[in-house]
Amino acid sequence: GFPVSPLCLCLDADRETLKATKVWKLAEVLVNEKQQCQDAKSQQKEQLVLLEKKSATYSQVLLRCLTLLQRLLQEHRLKTQSALHRINAQYLEVKCSAMILKLRMEELKILSDTYTAEKVEVHRLIR
């Protein structure tokens, strides 16, 4: 072969050093990226746990709100129903009074048709 000059040996050594440096830096970059990836996964897990907790809390709050709303609606309906019953009772009371007056009027009409002035006078004389 060809004689190897010291300059070539120096260049080869520089190349090997450069390769070793690049490999070392690449290893550092990979280690850093791996650590960042693990940190990101850890953060993601924490975020998922927080999300689940918030979701559970929101569900409980929503259920409490719905229960409260249902109770308020029921109370409102009962109050409205109570007022409606009161109004219906008053209406029926007035209607009943009107029916009693109509019955009394019919009774008086029958009595006036049955007992004319002449018949009343005859009964008075008989007594």
pLDDT in tens, 73-112: 988 888 888 888 999 999 999 999 999 999 999 999 998 8
Q: Which two tokens stand for residue 30?
A: 């990979």
pLDDT tens digit sequence for 30-78: 999 999 999 999 999 999 999 999 999 999 999 999 999 999 998 888 8
The two three-digit tokens of residue 67, written as one number: 């229960």
- Please report, for the chain, the start and end positions of each structural domain, with discontinuous segments joined by +: 6-126
> Residues 55, 61, 64, 70: is their CA dihedral positive or negative?
negative
